[in-house]
Amino acid sequence: MYKVLIIEDEYHIRHIVHEYFAMKNIEIVEASNGYEALELMNDDIDLVLLDIMMPGIDGYEVCKQLRMKSSQPIIFISALLEEQNQLMAYDLGGDDYITKPFKPSVLYAKCLAMIKRDQKVEDDIMTFGNIQLDKMNHLLIIDENSQFLANKEYELLLYFCECEGRLLPREQILNHVWGYDYFGDGRALDTYVKKLRKKLGKYSNYIQTVIKTGYMFKVVNHDEKEK
């Protein structure tokens, strides 16, 4: 049985999700605010459903604190429709963003797909130029120093590495990493590319922008001007 933590101050939303997911044999752990959620979070949780507007600390701060110690997928569920809210969610490490109202069946399908992708464990290390990707522990290793990659950061960098030297159109990347049912703003991709480049540091030019098309991952000399 998978276990999902829902952090939501509205009881009726928690109840609807709890009842539907229970029929699908998924255990729901409920938290009515951010403080309670941080206490309940542990390694047994497979995925987090996170509201933004809550009393005490909001969903953004909860996401920020969770990302400091966990890699479980985080799906924001919020009534906030503005683009800036969604971009903030992705920037803090959220993996998806679903607006209210939503259909429990669609939410369940997204959760199940994300959990299954996240639990595909591979035990080898990929090496590209001066960087390494630890596929078991979701670590980016540079000059013997390791950095943890959040779920979407890992999936995106893994896809880039697997397609080294190939031009990847934006839509193709979104379909592969976010899924064919993704209808969000494509700028989420740009946000994660920015985050990856920051973590790559002096090797940020491994991810090259192809104007009006997409991206290409290619090992180049780190002192070569970023394209």
**What are the residue ranges spanned by the domains of the chain?**
2-118, 125-217
What is the CATH number assigned to the segment(s) 125-217?
A: 1.10.10.10
User: Which of 107, 89, 99 lies closest to 16, judged by CA?
Assistant: 107
pLDDT tens by residue, 204-220: 999 999 988 999 999 87
pLDDT tens by residue, 169-188: 998 998 888 875 555 566 78
Environment class of 29 (CB within 10 Å of its CB; exposed 0-12, middle 13-18, buried 19+)? middle
**15 CB contacts (<8 Å, ≥6 apart)?**
none
**62 CB contacts (<8 Å, ≥6 apart)?**
7, 34, 37, 38, 50, 54
Query: Are the C-beta atoms of 225 and 205 separated by less than 8 Å?
Result: yes
The model's pTM is 0.61
Percentage helix, strand, coil for the chain under 3-state DSSP, each rounded to 5: 40, 25, 35
Which DSSP symbol is given to 45? -
The tokens of 204 are what?
């940020």
CATH H-level, domain 2-118: superfamily: Response regulator (3.40.50.2300)
Q: Edge-to-edge, what's the strand order for the sheet holding 139-142?
A: 125-128, 131-134, 139-142, 145-148
Q: What residues of the chain score a pLDDT lower than 50?
A: 121-122, 222-227
User: Which of 186, 224, 180 lies closest to 203, judged by CA?
Assistant: 224
Q: Sort strands 131-134 and 139-142 into parallel, antiparallel or unpaired.
A: antiparallel
